[in-house]
Amino acid sequence: MSNPKTLEWVKHIFQYLQGTKCMRLFFPNIPKTELIGFADAGYLSDPHSARSQIGYVFTYGGTSTSWRSMKQTIAATSSNHVEILAIHEASRECVWLRSIIQHIRENCGLHSRRVAPTILYDDNTTCIAQLKEGYIKGDKTKHISPKFFFTHDLQKNGDIDVQQIRSCDNFPDLFTKALPTASFEKLVYNIGLRCARDLI
């Protein structure tokens, strides 16, 4: 009672849980499956602490299998900076997911061939171009630690292929910013969430 704002948040969370309790992840029977990643950032989503929200989603066979949303622990100095941080986090998750998939394939006796690069989508063209070039100390990147260009090495090795996607089609928008209802419902459907009664 001493902090009404906190109580309002608790009420909001319970309303959300009540409204989404019928939602389930739907795994369609698709013969051809591949791992696809999406990364996004909401620059200065918390203006009071100067922190940005980043998120990523990985789908396999058209349904989400791994996702994360978190507030950055460091203050990003530009929208480009925070997008590079988002792709960096997604790239680390991608390396782990690829190794898990390869391990499962080998244990199931499936043909262990060279796995094609995982496509990782982002909506920032400048960021994508900088990651393809690698770390170059210039006015736009001198404040960004070179370790966040880890994705460049993964692209050179053929593990990841970072490509552009329209912002309205980028799944992690769900986690990084407030969206109109129509956009929210479209992205919820695209990540594989369905109402249980619609699957009967």
Buried-state track 60-84, b at ≥16 Cβ within 10 A, e below 16: bbebbbbbeeeebeeebebbbbbbb
Q: Which CATH architecture has domain 4-199?
A: 2-Layer Sandwich (3.30)
Examine the pLDDT at 161 and tell me if it is beyond 60: yes
**Spans of all domains in the chain:** 4-199
pLDDT at 94: 96
4 vs 104, more confident: 104
For 55, the enclosing helix (H) or strand (E) is: strand 51-60
Taking residues 180-188, report their average pLDDT.
90
- Its pTM stands at 0.83
Taking residues 144-165, report their average pLDDT.
87
Q: Give the confidence band of 135 by pLDDT, cuts at 50, 70, 90.
A: low
pLDDT at 46: 66
165 vs 27, more confident: 165
Q: Are 50 and 20 in contact (CB under 8 A)?
A: no
* 102 to 58, 108, 112, 121, 183: CA distances (angstroms): 16, 10, 8, 22, 34
